[in-house]
Amino acid sequence: MQKSEKAGLVNGKFDAIVIGAGSAGLYQLHRLKELGLNVALFEAGTGVGGAWYWNRYPGARFDSESYTYGYFFSQDLLREWSWSEHFAAQPETERYFNYVADKFDLRGNIQCSSRVTEAQYRENDNRWEIALEDGARYEARYLIAAVGPLTEPTLPAYEGVSSFAGEAYHTARWPKAPISFVGKRVAVIGTGASGVQTIQEVAKTASSLTVFQRTPNYCVPLGNSSIDDKTQKNIRDNYPKIYSRCLESAGGFIHNVDPRSVFELSSEEREAHWEKIYHEPGMAMWLGNFHDIFIDEHANNLVSEFMRKKIRQRVKDPKVAERLVPKNHGFGTRRVPLETGYYELFNSPNVKLVDLQETPILRITPVGIQTTDANFEFDMIIYATGFDAITGGFDKIDIRGIDGTRLKEKWSNGPITFLGTTTAGFPNFFMPGGPLTWLGNIPRGLEYNVDFITALIAHMLDKKFIAIDAKPESEAEWTTFSTEGAKKFLSSKVDSWFTGVNTNVKGKQKRTSPFYRGGGPAYRVRCEKTIRDGYNKDFNFYSDANEPNIEPELKISLRSGGDAIGRAPQKAVAG
């Protein structure tokens, strides 16, 4: 049992309740404690880490450079923590979040094994009341749902899923006890980022591995390596620069989109450039590519052909290679999985590929998987079938705002939020990483969201407001702006979690625009405008029940990364 399993939060009344002990939740707890608030954090798992607690499947690791993924808010933390690899594996990341929980003395406010099932806004006293799965109830002025964008795993809706008699696991609910593949006949369903990572590990020891692929993705070499002492020092010395690069890039990574057009280069120059960045570590090939591959079909066709050629070069059997080559979408329009020897695995005799477009799965049987073509027998089935992304973590909780309106109903045709962090009719309810926020290198966005929310709460405290609610016209404007803006990207015409499509979840077959696509810098400009305007253009404030629109006077700034980049940290309190 982790030290934080039961913090004994016996007092049911708090200033703030945070849901989730992942990257956003831990930092939010820290910031609210700094404001002097009495805060409780409820976490469903038995430990901290969020996505990096749950996704402990074999091969789980960062696809972003480790040193761009951690927190930037604390100079001490940057100085003390050393990542061992350029793309760290899950156990190390879980250790990092535990280190953070200890370093900032967060454990006493965290209660693990506590799944929040309901949250109701009480209009009579402007407070939130929540219920846990075990029936315990707690209340607070502010409720922060740091539930994460990739939280709710989904199983395929095949007949017989529960009838399988062997071992069965979802990548995002992987057990803590070691799982052996030695001598086992293993099936993996799903070839997204998680499936590709899992497949590479399982193939090492399983007696046979059968990969069930519905849609092939374009996978790119990760280029991982360990970090030696000299590189470590270099990273530490360069944190201010690394942070600035993440701030400046659209995706929050050290890779930024190449402002040139594909067509500015001759075909030989283009090939040479792509050959070079294909072998660079991380997301260089995807997020460091020419800007027009994301918006222009002709430009995208060229890079997609380059990627298809790469797959064909790496897979010996041309029939298998053709199955692995994506044909219904262009490169970079879905999340690009990163890999180390993934395609070569299909050259080995113990790895078989089943193309579900040719031979769909009919059902899961007690002994394995039945397709239209064959009855397969397995000892283990691994579901790498993804998540009810972005809204799934919210939908799982019965969240009710003013007049008992259910958040899930409000969002039934796609999410509606103001900047992804608030939604009208749900006062004092905040969502770091909520729908329609900017999503890139996820922790970079979350850290900024938490700072924004903290500044808003600090402002309320300073002005003695008891409630705040996003204005419907502001959220309508943001939702339309965000949704319309996404349309220019080719990815908006493709099914994936980027467009809110999940064939396994009822009502999520229609494409939506679940997060802001305009990049981190533009997102922050809009957030900072609302602050500069004194918040009151976009929010209603209440100083007492039913007394709206007290004009705030305000001077607040965000501080994310302030101390990390050598500026004096700015306290997020109203001036």
Query: What would the two tokens of residue 438 be?
Result: 């900017």
Q: Which stretch binds ligand NA7 (CB under 6 A): 119-127, 188-196, 374-382, 549-557?
A: 188-196
Which residues inside 384-403 make contact with ligand NA7, applying CB under 6 A?
Answer: 384-387
Q: How far is the CB of 356 from ligand NA7 (least distance, A)?
A: 6
Q: How far is the CB of 570 from ligand NA7 (least distance, A)?
A: 31
List, as own/partner pairs, every contact residues 408-413 make where C-beta atoms lie below 8 angstroms and the sequence separation is at least 24, other chains included.
411/435, 412/507, 413/512
Contact code string over 161-180 relative to ligand NA7, x by CB under 6 A: ----------x---------
Residue from 573, 575, 574, 460 nearest 31 by CA: 573
Q: Is 194 in the site for ligand NA7 (CB under 6 A)?
A: yes
Q: How far is the CB of 107 from ligand NA7 (least distance, A)?
A: 27
Q: Is 74 in the site for ligand NA7 (CB under 6 A)?
A: no
Alpha-carbon distances of 102 from 21, 206, 385, rounded to whole Å: 13, 38, 34
Closest CB to ligand NA7 among residues 128, 516 = 516
The residue within the footprint of ligand NA7, chosen from 247, 265, 325, 356 (CB under 6 A), is 356
Closest CB to ligand NA7 among residues 96, 542 = 96
The span from the CA of 289 to the CA of 18, in Å, is 38
Which residues inside 315-344 make contact with ligand NA7, applying CB under 6 A?
Answer: 335
Q: Is 215 in the site for ligand NA7 (CB under 6 A)?
A: yes
The span from the CA of 400 to the CA of 425, in Å, is 9
Query: What would the two tokens of residue 88 be?
Result: 């760290």
* 489, 294 contact by CB (below 8 A): yes
Q: Which stretch binds ligand NA7 (CB under 6 A): 1-9, 82-90, 193-201, 365-373?
A: 193-201
Query: What would the two tokens of residue 304 be?
Result: 């997609």
Residue from 396, 450, 336 nearest 150 by CA: 396
Q: What is the DSSP letter of 516?
A: B
Sign of CA dihedral 94, 96, 99, 100: negative
Q: How far is the CB of 546 from ligand NA7 (least distance, A)?
A: 43
**Cα 110 to the center of its chain, rounded Å:** 22
Query: What would the two tokens of residue 48 be?
Result: 């901290």
Q: Is 362 in the site for ligand NA7 (CB under 6 A)?
A: no
Single-letter residue type at 410: K
The span from the CA of 30 to the CA of 37, in Å, is 10
Closest CB to ligand NA7 among residues 191, 437 = 191
Q: Which stretch binds ligand NA7 (CB under 6 A): 124-132, 237-245, 497-505, 508-516?
A: 497-505
3-state secondary structure of 527: helix
Helices (H) then strands (E): counts for the chain:
18, 20
Q: Which stretch binds ligand NA7 (CB under 6 A): 274-282, 294-302, 382-390, 564-572?
A: 382-390
| 299 membership: H or E segment, kind and range | helix 297-314
Q: Is 191 in the site for ligand NA7 (CB under 6 A)?
A: yes
Closest CB to ligand NA7 among residues 399, 439 = 439
Kindly state the number of chain residues that form the binding site for ligand NA7, as judged by CB under 6 A.
21
Residue from 551, 550, 568 nearest 559 by CA: 568
Q: How far is the CB of 63 from ligand NA7 (least distance, A)?
A: 7
Closest CB to ligand NA7 among residues 254, 470 = 254
The residue within the footprint of ligand NA7, chosen from 504, 536, 543, 557 (CB under 6 A), is 504
The span from the CA of 186 to the CA of 202, in Å, is 8
Q: Is 49 in the site for ligand NA7 (CB under 6 A)?
A: no
Query: What would the two tokens of residue 536 be?
Result: 């009151």
Query: What would the two tokens of residue 247 be?
Result: 């701030």
Position closest to ligand NA7 via CB = 192
Which residues inside 281-320 make contact with ligand NA7, applying CB under 6 A?
Answer: none
Q: Which stretch binds ligand NA7 (CB under 6 A): 285-293, 383-391, 473-481, 483-491?
A: 383-391
Residues that bind ligand NA7 (CB under 6 A): 150, 156, 171, 189-195, 214-215, 335, 356, 384-387, 497, 503-504
